Amino acid sequence: MGRHRGKHEDDDASDLHEHPGENRRRRGRGGAFAALAAAFSIMLGLGVTGWYVFNTQDGCSGEDIVVTAAVSPELDTALTAIAEEFNAQRHDLDGRCVVADVQAIDSANVTYGITGGGPTIGDTDSDVWIPDSSLWPDIVKDESGDAGFTDTGTSVASSPLVLAQPAESGDQEDDEQPSWDALVPTTAPSAGAAGNDVRLVDPIRSSSGMATLALISGAIGDETEGRPELVAALQTLQRGVTPDEEAAFGLLSEDTGGEPRFLVLPEQAAWRFNSAHEDAPARITYPQGGTYTLDYPYIVRTGDPVMSRAAEVFRAALTGDAARRTLAADGFRSADGAADTEVLTEDAGFTAEAPDSLPTPSTQSVQQLAQAWNRLKLDTRLLTLVDISGSMLEPVPGTDVNRMEVTAASAAEGLNLFPEGSELGLWQFSVKINNDLDYSELLPVRELSAETNGVTHKEALAAAFAEMEPLPDGDTGLYDTYLAAYREMSRTYRADRINAILMLTDGNNDDADSIDIDELLSTIESESSPERPIPVFTIAFGPDIDPEPLERIAAATGGEAYTTEDPTEIGDIFLRAFAQRLDTPAEEE
């Protein structure tokens, strides 16, 4: 993880006099003494702000002290205007003019530039940093410890998250305010099921996206039993994620055909979209129960006392009435939530009073959600094994269908859990159904979106599930089938995907000629590799299941075994199996 020194600690004072546009050295963390001195100078400045504000005579001379400020891109227009006025006022510090140089840099880019925890683009160094949310400096503090910056406690603006809908989106009652826990489905998706089309910006690079995950996760609950619901919510959101705000704006311009669609955006972004689309503005809703608010903290990154004092001069200007008016005119609220009602108008759906602000998610919560998001996003290679023994003809109590029909329908619905880039295959098994083999391949492991004869692989799988027929006199050949499937997935292993096996069965091993459980486990142990994991998941249903061998297979492969007497629960068990992925160590990215 990259570590940086304080800016120019050993350089001449003249090195601080850079002008906008010149090449600047990389800045970073200072030593303990420099950081203490910087913090002291900032606190001193906070106590004598009036001196800095009023001592703006034209007598400063010599080299300018240039304060570079990396600001979240949506602040660029307003802060550039404020900086131009600030620079024209010739603020004096020890006989030299303080000059502000505003640079629009993505907040995630700066964060990863400091921590070394992700890809960055271009120069991410600056003397001052104004990200869109305290989420980012919190991450820096947690991952980098002595990060070489001082949080001044100043918020230069605020913008709560809202729900924006395209002008032609589905009807919604005027007083209807979705809550975070009701916004996204938390059950296994089913084909044709109704639900909100919720879109958000990639949470790995967007505070609005990450805050959305945190708010929905918090509404669901963090208990272990709530994890399947979280998986369902995350998978639903992943199908509607956009890479950036520009792409989100494009979705707000689309005709949804009358179907409801919500985009989670900062209020200022929604205002900015509406300003550019007055003929078809987005409809604005504030979530019931409160929302997260972007707080735009003013962070000083330099450890040099003189530069820290110069940064304080610019901070004082940003908290003045003129700066607040400029920011309000650009769709931002003040730090305390006050809005310019002639900008954020009631006619456009905005409210004069800020919504209740929910707490900033903890760094631990953000990191766990980011990890879960990345793991679930990783596409799967899954080979599904379906039992077609005679017992699958048994009726399911309380229904007019048999076990096979319920299993096939649940498995087909389970296809909706997988992104289009996932690869799935299908085998059926009983005893000696393929010459002397207990299993036969119906469809190879292929990408769901792949087409053959005008039919996608996903459609072919759904049709194959629907056409499966149990063998009235068929027995259950578990162990040979497990081993053959394990060897096939090992032979075709792909390191860029999660490789796994799913077995659906209602019986115990009935093949007297097959290997036994001990031989199966010893063979898997000898042929497996920690670097190429292939977890085996088994969903077994029926009153006569012996779970012990299934649990041993799961333990040996890093999978899980689920048993139930009700095959109609398969959909929920699918979610629990996916939730288990959140506990699987992720490969290094």
Per-residue pLDDT reduced to its tens digit, 485-509 = 999 999 999 988 889 999 999 889 9
Does residue 177 contact residue 288 with C-beta atoms inside 8 Å? yes
CB 207 within 8 A of CB 266: no
Cα separation, 64 vs 67, whole angstroms:
9
What pLDDT shows up at residue 186? 66
Q: Mean pLDDT over residues 524-543, rounded? A: 90
In this prediction, residue 32 has a pLDDT band, given cuts at 50, 70 and 90, of: very low
Contact 212, 200 (CB under 8 A): yes
Separation between Cα atoms, residue 196 and residue 182, nearest integer Å? 9
Which numeric CATH code is attached to 379-583? 3.40.50.410
Q: What is the DSSP letter of 362?
A: P
Is 434 in a helix, a strand, or coil?
A: strand
Look at residue 205 in the predicted model and tell me its pLDDT: 87
Confidence of residue 545 (pLDDT cuts 50, 70, 90): confident
Q: Is the model more confident about 310 or about 303?
A: 310
| Mean pLDDT, the chain, whole residue set | 82
Alpha-carbon span 588 to 21, nearest angstrom: 38
pLDDT at residue 303 tops 80: yes
Percent of the chain with pLDDT over 70: 81
Q: How far apart are CA 53 and CA 42, in angstroms?
A: 15
Count the helices and strands in the chain (H runs, E runs).
Answer: 19, 20
Fold identical between 13-155+296-344 and 159-294?
yes
Q: What's the pLDDT score for residue 121?
A: 67
Q: What is the pLDDT of residue 222?
A: 58
Query: Is a pLDDT exceeding 60 seen at residue 589?
Result: no
Look up the CATH superfamily of 159-294.
Periplasmic binding protein-like II (3.40.190.10)
Residue 246 has pLDDT above 80, yes or no: yes
Question: Stretch 256-277: mean pLDDT, rounded?
Answer: 90
pLDDT at 407 over 70: yes
Query: CB-based contacts of 51: which residues, under 8 Å, 6+ apart?
Result: none
The number of CA neighbours under 13 Å toward the Cβ of 285 is: 25
> Mean pLDDT throughout 537-560?
89
Q: What pTM value is reported for the model?
A: 0.69
Distance CA 142, CA 374 (A): 20
Q: Which CATH class is domain 13-155+296-344?
A: alpha beta
Average pLDDT over residues 227-254: 83
Residue 55: band (very low, low, confident or very high) from pLDDT cuts 50, 70, 90:
very low
For 106, the enclosing helix (H) or strand (E) is none
Q: At what angle do helices 547-557 and 478-491 cross, to 10 degrees?
A: 10
CB 330 within 8 A of CB 82: no
Strand partners, 100: 67
pLDDT at 20 over 90: no
Q: At residue 128, does pLDDT exceed 90?
A: yes
In the chain, where the domains are located: 13-155+296-344, 159-294, 379-583
Of 6, 364, 360, 311, nearest in space to 160 by CA:
360
For residue 386, which of 458, 343, 344, 440 has the smallest C-alpha distance? 440
Residue range 572-581: average pLDDT?
Answer: 67
pLDDT above 90 coverage of the chain, percent? 50
pLDDT the model gives residue 28: 39
Is 70 exceeded by the pLDDT of residue 167? Answer: yes
> In this predicted structure, what is the pLDDT of residue 585?
43
Residue-level pLDDT at 218: 82
Mean pLDDT (whole number) for 280-297: 93
Distances (CA, A) of 516 to 301, 438, 512, 557: 65, 14, 9, 17
Least reliable range by pLDDT among 100-109, 313-322, 368-377, 460-469: 368-377
Helix, coil or strand: residue 539: strand
**Per-residue pLDDT tens over the stretch 408-464:** 888 887 787 777 888 999 999 999 999 999 999 999 999 999 998 899 999 999 999
| Residue 123 DSSP class | -
Short-list 188, 183, 251, CA closest to 215: 183
Helices (H), ranges, 352-450: 363-377, 403-414
CB burial readout 308-340, b (16+ within 10 A) else e? bbbbbbbbbbbbeeebbebbbebbbbbbebebb
- Residue indicated by tokens 């459609």: 459
Question: Please, are residues 277 and 251 in contact by the beta-carbon 8 Å criterion?
Answer: no
pLDDT band at 23 (very low <50, low <70, confident <90, very high): very low
Cβ distance 498 to 581 under 8 Å? yes
Confidence at residue 2, expressed as pLDDT on a 0 to 100 scale: 35
Structure tokens at 226: 């709530």
Q: Pull the structure tokens for residue 284.
A: 């604005």
pLDDT of residue 170: 55
CB contact set of 273 (below 8 Å; sequence gap of 6+) = 164, 249, 252, 265, 281, 282
Per the CB < 8 A criterion, the answer to whether 498 and 376 are in contact is no
Provide Rg for the chain, Cα atoms.
30
Over range 329-347, report the average pLDDT.
Answer: 96
Residue 29 above 50 pLDDT? no
User: 3-class SS at 426?
Assistant: strand
Q: What is the pLDDT of residue 326?
A: 98
Say what the pLDDT of residue 397 is: 82
Cβ–Cβ under 8 Å, residues 335 and 157: yes
